[in-house]
Structure 1
Amino acid sequence: MKKMLAAAVSRVLSRASQKPASRVQVAACNYSNDATFEIKKCDLHRLEEGPPNTTVLTREEGLKYYRMMQTVRRMELKADQLYKQKFIRGFCHLCDGQEACCVGLEAGINPTDHVITSYRAHGLSYTRGVPVRGILAELTGRKGGCAKGKGGSMHMYGKNFYGGNGIVGAQGQLFEAYNMAALWKLPCVFICENNRYGMGTSAERAAANTEYYKRSSFIPGLRVDGMDVLCVREAVKFAAAYCRSGKGPILMELQTYRYHGHSMSDPGISYRSREEIQEVRSKNDPIKLLKDRIVNSKLASVEELKEIDAEVRKEIEDATQFATSDPEPPLEELGHHIYSSNTPFEVRGANQWIKYKSIS
């Protein structure tokens, strides 16, 4: 018995002595502080020069972008699941596959800049600072949502973010906006996230000219690789600097791809093949492209990225628990927050005899 006990203690001590050694080995791993990468050259319209063809990525930035992109990806996949479980109702437009656009955009502007977008805005809501639980709770119509559960997928808002509007760039209004911005030299960056398909039709079948960055003949334009977060970042920095210098508006076309259908009612494979989607996933996925760069340049290890994956999964699960258990807003709050700052006033409901009080 003593020998068995001694052997057991010896094994425990041996294991204990091995653990610190392995930790020391991991801690001693030499990571690079930064790395320089070549990025795809942007196509230019009415510009003599564009964004740089190389850029520096620091270890801190790489890990930050990777975490953000994984969070948006897993958040959208969870939204897909919640919709199928009928926790989410109504319209729901997912942006998985387009993560480099929202993360690259935020990396290229200032927190004090203002962002307006149409739908497919969950990722932009997150990168603008809305927490995951606030987004998922909004999707499920709960009180803890970023719009108090009254907006849903197409009406999400945050600080300096006026997003989730249920209308895309309708041609008449869009060209009027181009014209006014050019006349008044407004510091406005127009961005077209070209994910190659409309509601159910490819861009090539719907438009005689698919060079959207040239659509306004009198505004300069950039066509950008929207699957590369570094390319998006540098292009946005260039565009923002152009506007801040007083030269007026600029137009950007981000060439990207959505993995899901247009909305949850669209299976997304009636007008494109599963093979096409799989090819983009395997060869041009924005998260995989960033991961390969980080690992190959020794900015981080595969194990470190796996730890981030695990942390993201836990964050999404915790947010899901909140989004499915938080109470729905009470009916008497139906008229609340019509204005951001105003004295309380009465709002007539659908029945003229029922009135609600609106507070800011």
Structure 2
Amino acid sequence: MYRVMRLIRRFEERSIELVHSGHIVGGIHPYIGQEAIAAGVCAALRDDDIITSTHRGHGHVLAKGADPIRMLAELTGRSTGLNGGRGGSMHAADFGKGIYGANGIVGAGGAIATGAAWARRNDGSDVVTVSFFGDGAVNQGVLLETFNLAALWRLPVLFVCENNGYATTLTVAQAVAGSITARAEAFGIPSVSVDGTDARAVYAAAQAAAARGRAGMGPSFIECTAYRFDAHHTWEHKARVRYRSDDEVAAGRSRDPLDVLGLADEVRDRVDAEIEALLAEAVAFALDSPAPDPAGALDHLYATGLRTRDGNGLLDSAVR
């Protein structure tokens, strides 16, 4: 889990550098400070289990096993990326790894994960699906509707709320009435709150929830409390938005998930060096890769491969 967390941390830091240099266009939502959640949850999953992610999704995608080299190429919009440069930061996916996509719509991944769980169960599989979402999503109607169906149908879904204290710049206290876990408990979903900076605690909770789902006992809900070390979005680095005091940020940063794990320095040094080499390779690969060919901009829009318009700007006859 330390290796995964270190990979996420340095991947995000290198990505921020590429945002500032202009190689990643549009910016990213850094996952720094929340690494233990992705690492702990995904360590409890099998290779064939499924996850859905969020706009702050790099950590989940990497923890579930996506290739970091191709992932960085995706963020830089290159044809060698996980999704050919089409998904970018907020829509990266790798179906072969059970990653059914990051999602820029708050709370939307819950319905996708629950649909996937329903489909797999109907196929006779004991696959578990995980929906990651932030504290801002617990007020979204689609997520509450999803809780209802998952509970009614006793689906093997693990709902993981990453409570980092803020929905963009709005505090949880200003946005959420009652408690976050009570949202799921109202639907009869067993819920727990754990320290999201402690990978071992997250892993234990996720392991129990996954076992419960595989046994046919239905969904579970885990609230993981953590602190977002960096900006909501790298746009803040230029805008200098002030909604957190320096003292608050310093206090939040004082509990670093990579330190909480408590590994010996020699182990950390060895892993850190390996991660540095991997990310140096990833950056070089991304920057040396070609951009997508604009001629293929309309490819992959339909499962049949049909293009929406012909070369004269008219609708293709098959589409008409």
Q: Same fold (TM over 0.5)?
A: yes
Residue 151 of structure 1 deviates from its aligned partner by 1.1
| Aligned residue among 289, 293, 296 for 2:260 | 289
- Where in structure 2 are there 5+ consecutive unaligned residues? 108-136
Please give the secondary structure, in 2, of the residue aligned with 1:215.
helix
The answer to whether the Cα contact below 8 Å between 2:76 and 2:286 also exists between their aligned partners in 1 is yes
Q: CA deviation at 1:345?
A: 2.5
**1:97-112 superposed matches below 5 A:** 97-112=33-48
**Sequence identity, in percent?**
38
Q: 1:349 to 1:189 in 2, by over 3 A?
A: farther
TM-score, length basis structure 1: 0.73
Aligned partner of residue 70 in structure 1, secondary structure: helix
Q: What's the CA shift for 1:303?
A: 2.6
Deviation at 1:272, TM superposition (A): 0.8
Asked if structure 2 preserves the Cα contact closer than 8 Å seen for 1:193 and 1:253, the reply is yes
Give distance in 2, aligned partners of 1:187 and 1:221: 14
- Cα distance in 2 between the residues matched to 1:228 and 1:195: 14
Deviation sequence 1:34-81 (CA, Å, 0-9, x none): xxxxxxxxxxxxxxxxxxxxxxxxxxxxxxx22211111000001111
- Matched with 2:129 is none
Amino acid at match of 1:316: L
Unaligned runs of 5+ in 1: 1-64, 296-301, 356-360
- The answer as to 2:313 corresponding to 1:352 is yes
Q: Does 1:252 align with 2:222?
A: yes
Q: 2:180: which partner in 1?
A: 212
Q: Of residues 114, 119, 125 in structure 1, which corresponds to 2:50?
A: 114
> Are the counterparts in 2 of residues 91 and 154 from structure 1 also a CA contact under 8 Å?
no
Q: Give the aligned partner of residue 147 of structure 1.
A: 83
| TM-score normalised over the length of structure 2 | 0.82
Instruction: Return the index of the structure with the highest Cα Rg.
Output: 1
Could you tell me whether the CA contact under 8 Å between 1:98 and 1:257 is conserved in 2? yes
2:15 alignment partner in structure 1: 79
Classify 1:179/1:66 alpha carbon distance in 2 versus 1 (closer, same or farther; 3 Å). same
Aligned-residue offset at 1:348: 2.4
Distance 1:143 1:306, change over 3 A: same
Contact 1:192 1:254 (8 Å CA) reproduced: yes
What stretches of structure 1 move > 4 A for 4+ residues in a row? Answer: none
SS of equivalent residue, structure 1 residue 224: strand
- Specify which of 255, 266, 272 is matched with residue 309 of structure 1: 272
Aligned partner of 2:182: which letter? Answer: K
Could you tell me whether the CA contact under 8 Å between 2:54 and 2:103 is conserved in 1?
yes
What residue is the counterpart of 1:10 in the other structure? none
After superposition, the CA RMSD in angstroms is 2.1
Q: CA offset at residue 132 of structure 1?
A: 1.3
CA–CA distance in structure 2, aligned partners of residues 279 and 350 of structure 1: 58
- Partner residue of 2:198 out of 208, 228, 235: 228
**DSSP-derived class of the 1:161 partner:** coil
- Structure 2 matches for 1:1-360, cutoff 5 A? 65-158=1-94, 159=96, 160-169=98-107, 170=137, 171-209=140-178, 211-216=179-184, 217-218=186-187, 219-267=189-237, 270-282=242-254, 284-290=255-261, 292=262, 294-295=263-264, 302-338=265-301, 343-348=304-309, 352-353=313-314
Q: 2: distance between equivalents of 1:351 and 1:186?
A: 49
Measured after TM superposition, the shift of residue 338 of structure 1 is 3.6
Matched to 2:249, the amino acid is I
